[in-house]
Amino acid sequence: MLTAADATRMKWGKLSAKTRQSLPKEDFALPGKGEGPKGAGSGSYPIPDKKHARLALMYSKRNASSAEQETIKEKVAKKFPRLKNAYKKD
């Protein structure tokens, strides 16, 4: 359950580690990687809201492979269809 502080951080594009870990897998554009005591992890490129979806698209251009970028664009388009201009192909 999100606290008021967590909601405020999300509003400004910041997720605490605790909040990020509590997000469901559907709120991530890419699945978690790795192994360990907590399993594969929560995932990469969180998209719990429109602000984070835009950030995921922006950061994926810098850090993700072209295949990962396409996956991120698809997940954002599916979750937030009104962000038409944000996920247009370049």
Global pTM reads: 0.71
- pLDDT score recorded for residue 14: 75
For residues 28-43, b (16+ Cβ closer than 10 Å) or e, as one string?
A: bbbeeeeeeeeeeebb
- pLDDT score recorded for residue 69: 93
Structural domain spans, the chain: 4-87
Tell me the mean pLDDT per 10 residues along the chain, length 90.
54 74 87 64 85 91 92 93 67
